[in-house]
Amino acid sequence: MRTSPAVVDGLASPAPAPPPRTRSEARAAFEDSASVGLGFVPLGIAFGVLVTHSGVGWWWAGLSSALIYGGSFEFLLIGMVTAAAPLVSVAVSAFLVNLRHVFYALSFPLDRVEGRLGKTYSTFALCDEAYALTAGQQARSWSSRRILWLQLFMHLYWAGGATAGALLGSLVPDSVTGLDFALTALFTVLALDAVRDRRGDLPTPLLALVSALAARLLFPGQLLPVAFALFTAGLLARHLPTRRKQSHA
Amino acid sequence: MPDTTYLVAAVLISAAVTWTLRALPFAALAPLRASGTVQYLSTRMPAGIMVILVVYCLRDLPLTHARVAAPLAALTVTVGLHLWRRNALLSILGGTAVHVALASTVFAH
């Protein structure tokens, strides 16, 4: 990912009317978002093609990608709606798969996004990649506008790719199957990156793997909730003894 | 093919749940930002959750059939490419291409 020069001069001078920086801020955000776009557009197209091949109308790919805007869950949702899963199951699955977003509130720079509308959109479009790009060191100096532009670009990549894929989906013959592996590959890549970021902390992915395999064997119908619960309980069990030791020291 | 009302309702419910999970914690977790336990969980959960989601995607591997080779080969290519080039797009597209090629031809059913 490229880092761009900091835009801090506008913050330092107490100018009553800030200069119209929209264009350059949008341009900087566009450059920052390019790497994500290279992933979002093809994945969005794969999602759209899968929607059409599942027998759901192309408009649904556009609606889902614009309103839910959570790629991993949207791939899962295709299978659920084609199986006519109860809406309660849909809500529970959305909750479980997207629960990880709860932790983004701990360090996403929402305090730097201005205005009620801006904050509203910023939380709405807070996908994994938006968090990953804005929570790092290089984003410390980014303005409200630049963060919002960045989020808007990513939103457009995903929704645009999905809609295009769904419209083009009928051109891809039905005998072409297996596109759904894009989701498995996405999670695999995110897992490898996350494990690499926590270099030396192998117990965490191992604990997750054991939790998932145990859930798969014992409660195959409820793999996700059981695995998440086992994993969280395991993490807490690892953490609490060290905490007690620290408080005694 | 499910009816339109159901399809729209599924999207609206999912969108409401997702947005709530993204927005609400800013109010609810603000006092917890300093909590050691929350910090501990927040740094370790992403890696674990991704691993669990990978297992979830592979939960129905046909272990006793020859066509299990398609996802396993695709997974190997994805991991291999990613360890080699560290390019997320390349790894995803490469693995998916292998899976589509194998599942649509050799292991088509």
pLDDT > 80? residue A13: no
Residue A14 lies in a domain: no
With b for 16 or more beta-carbon neighbours within 10 A and e for fewer, the B52-84 pattern comes to bbbbbbbeeeeeeeeeeebbebbbebbbebbee
Residue A4 lies in a domain: no
Residue A10 lies in a domain: no
The alpha-carbon gap from A182 to the nearest alpha carbon of chain B, in Å, equals 5
Task: Write the secondary structure of chain B as one string of H (helix), E (strand) and C (coil).
Answer: CCCHHHHHHHHHHHHHHHHHHHHHHHHHCHHHCCCHHHHHHHHHHHHHHHHHHHHHHCCCCCCCCHHHHHHHHHHHHHHHHHHHHCCHHHHHHHHHHHHHHHHHCCCCC
Domains in chain B: boundaries? 1-48, 58-109
Query: Kindly report the CA angle at A87 between A81 and A92, in degrees rounded to 5?
Result: 105
Phi-psi region of A15 (alpha: psi -120 to 50; beta: other; left: phi over 0): beta
Least confident window among A79-93, A128-142, A213-227, B63-77: A128-142
Domain that holds residue A248: 200-249
Q: Are residues A55 and A139 in the same domain?
A: yes
Interface pTM (ipTM) of the complex? 0.85
Spell out the long-range contacts of B28-36 with Cβ–Cβ below 8 A and sequence spacing 24 or more.
B28/A105, B29/A102, B29/A105, B29/A106, B30/A105, B32/A106, B33/A106, B36/A243
- pLDDT tens figures, B15-70: 999 999 999 988 887 777 677 887 788 788 778 878 888 898 898 888 889 989 99
Q: For residue B102, name the pLDDT band (cuts at 50, 70, 90).
A: very high
- Between CA A213 and CA A235 the distance in angstroms is 16
Residue A12 lies in a domain: no
Contact B14 A192 (CB under 8 A): no
Q: For residue A15, name the pLDDT band (cuts at 50, 70, 90).
A: very low
Contact A181 B74 (CB under 8 A): yes
Q: Are residues A87 and A180 in the same domain?
A: yes
- Between CA A80 and CA A70 the distance in angstroms is 15
Q: Is the dihedral of CA A165, A169, A171, A172 positive or negative?
A: positive
Q: Are residues A220 and A146 in the same domain?
A: no
Residue A103 lies in a domain: yes
Q: Are residues A212 and A179 in the same domain?
A: no
Q: Are residues A122 and A177 in the same domain?
A: yes
pLDDT > 50? residue A186: yes
Q: According to the model, what pLDDT value does residue A157 have?
A: 95
Q: According to the model, what pLDDT value does residue A9 have?
A: 37
Count of CA atoms in the C-beta half-sphere (13 A) of A17: 1
Q: Is the dihedral of CA A185, A191, A197, A202 positive or negative?
A: negative
pTM of the model: 0.71
Q: For residue A213, name the pLDDT band (cuts at 50, 70, 90).
A: very high
Q: Are residues A184 and A76 in the same domain?
A: yes
The alpha-carbon gap from B45 to the nearest alpha carbon of chain A, in Å, equals 8
Q: Are residues A95 and A216 in the same domain?
A: no
Question: How many domains, chain A?
Answer: 2
Residue A62 lies in a domain: yes
Mutate to test the interface with A, among B1, B21, B39 (most CBs of A within 10 A): B21
- pLDDT tens figures, A104-161: 887 788 989 999 999 999 999 998 888 877 876 677 889 999 999 999 999 999 999 9
Residue A11 lies in a domain: no
* Residue after which a domain boundary falls, among A197, A219, A236: A197
End-to-end CA distance of chain B: 22
Q: Are residues A147 and A237 in the same domain?
A: no
- Between CA A97 and CA B35 the distance in angstroms is 24
